Amino acid sequence: MKIIVALMFSFLLMVNTAVAQDSVIVLATTTSVENSGLLSHILPVFEKKTGIKVKVVARGTGAAIEMGKRGDADAVLVHAKELELEGVREGWFVNRHDVCYNDFIIVGPKNDPAKIREVKKAVDAFKRIASSQSLFISRGDKSGTHVKELQIWQRAGIEPKGQRWYLEVGQGMEKTLRIANEKQAYTLTDRGTWLAIKDKLELAILFQGDPVLFNQYGVMAVNPEKHKHVKYKEAMKFINWIISKEGQEAIASFKDKFGNQLFIPNAK
């Protein structure tokens, strides 16, 4: 009898363990939604509703997408729409949706040595930084922010790599901002991360408002036809929730201590 009870207990333990494992998905995402605090704000709502736990792995957008391509994640939440759509066309991802947006801004020393406050276009701001040889800190990590930065340099007709005033740090957004602060340098940042930590920095917003700085976030599932082990069903529950009215309201309710909304929901 004791043996039968022990076997039944072992079986139930195995079943419960399997269920628990099935109730965890891996979300590869960008550091900006992690550093800003957005995920810690919205995920408890999803987890309570569905019983599905979300393990967050925050990387630059490029690295997060590569995680998905390798099958090391079940869903991806990033902000480089061209790269996302490319991944869908290549068959790595399915069911991509816009989720929310904010914008990029250029921050730097309050005395603004490159005088970028005076210009109207992000391209012209970058040209002034280069011509004045003012120090610029680049994430240099193939993130969505880095991709946007490189696009602006390209439009400006400038190759910054290798220039003494250009420093690639290979870090997430929060660390990049802290390095820019320490060195009193310029950098490109998403507004959400900036608002989350600006009180700890001696920098200022020096340029904003150019439509080219629009910053769209999207979510997509890893294609189960590419990686049969991924938890597609659970990933789709997360995707359907985050683009639902409840998920969008959770995003809209996320604000900093001054009441600033950090991300604007725009799922269709």
> What would the 3-class secondary structure string for the chain be?
CHHHHHHHHHHHHHHHHHHHHHCEEEEEEEHHHHHCCHHHHHHHHHHHHHCCEEEEEEECHHHHHHHHHHCCCCEEEECCHHHHHHHHHCCCEEEEEEEEEEEEEEEECCCCCCCHHHCCCHHHHHHHHHHCCCCEEECCCCCHHHHHHHHHHHHHCCCCCCCCCEEECCCCHHHHHHHHHHHCCEEEEEHHHHHHHHHHCCCEEEECCCHHHEEEEEEEEECCCCCCCCCHHHHHHHHHHHCCHHHHHHHHCCECCCCCECCEECCC
Give residue 10's pLDDT: 45
Give residue 7's pLDDT: 43
How confident is the prediction for the chain on average, in pLDDT? 92
Torsion sign, CA atoms 195, 221, 20, 50: positive
Average pLDDT over residues 173-192: 96
Average pLDDT over residues 16-34: 75
Is residue 15 over pLDDT 80?
no
Is the overall model pTM greater than 0.85, yes or no? no
Is residue 26 over pLDDT 70?
yes
| Higher-scoring residue by pLDDT: 13, 191 | 191
* Contact between 109 and 184 (Cβ < 8 Å): yes
Residue 247 neighbours by CB under 8 Å, 6+ apart: 42, 45, 46, 241, 265, 267
pLDDT tens-place string over residues 112-137: 999 999 999 999 999 999 999 999 99
Predicted confidence band at 13 (pLDDT cuts at 50, 70, 90)? Answer: very low
Share of residues in the chain with pLDDT > 70 (%): 92
Please give the CATH architecture assigned to the domain spanning 2-102+216-265: 3-Layer(aba) Sandwich (3.40)
Average pLDDT over residues 19-41: 84
Give residue 20's pLDDT: 42
| Higher-scoring residue by pLDDT: 101, 258 | 101
Give residue 31's pLDDT: 87
For the chain, the domains span 2-102+216-265, 103-213
Q: Is 133 left (phi over 0), alpha (psi -120 to 50) or beta?
A: left
Q: Quote the CATH superfamily of domain 103-213.
A: Periplasmic binding protein-like II (3.40.190.10)
Give residue 268's pLDDT: 86
Spatial separation of the C-alpha atoms in residues 229 and 177, rounded to whole Å: 37
